[in-house]
Amino acid sequence: MYRVCFVCTGNICRSPMAEAVFRAKVRDAGLDGLVEVGSAGTGSWHLGDPADPRTNAVLEDAGYELAHVARLFEPDWFDTYDLVVALDEGHETELTALARHSTEAAKVRLLRSYDPAADQGDLGVPDPYYGGANGFDVCLAMVEAAVPGLLDEVTQAVEVREAR
C-alpha cells in the first residue's frame, strides 16, 4: 500500500478537498487497494470537526465525495505515509520541522509543485477559510490542476513496488 497524506492548517478546507479529489482520481486510475489517501492539519483548532460546509459544497458541485473528520498530523505518521503533501509553504516548513531525520523531511512536497503551469515562485494554495465561496472554487481549480502530476508520480511508485 502506498500512502499519501495532504496537510493544511485546520484540516477542514484545503487538505480534505485535495484528499477527495485525489481519492477520486486514484479510483479512476484503478489504484484502489494500492493507494491510501488521507489528510490532516498542522493545528488543533478543528479536531473532530467535519469539513467546512463550503468545502463540501464545492466538492459536491464538482461531483466529488467526502466523508471527513479533522485530525492533527503527528510526527510518527512519517512512518506510515510515503508522501506528505503540504498545501502551502508554511505547512511545508512546519512538516519539515516535525521530521525527525532527513528521510522523513524528504517525504514532504508542495501540492502545486506537481502542476507544470503553476508559478514556481508561489506554489501555495491560498486558504479560502476567511473569504467567500469563490475562494473555494479557486482552491479546487488549483488542486485539480496539480493532481494529475501527483497521480503520475504515485502511479510510478506503485508500479515499482508491484514489480518487486
For cell 515562485, what's the residue? Answer: 121
Concatenated DSSP letters of 114-154: G-TTS-TT--PPPP-TTS-HHHHHHHHHHHHHHHHHHHHHH
Name beta bridge partners: 39: 6
Q: Write down the number of H helices and E strands in the chain.
A: 5, 4
Enzyme catalytic residues: 8, 14, 127
Residue among 114, 112, 115, 137 at smallest CA distance from 123: 112
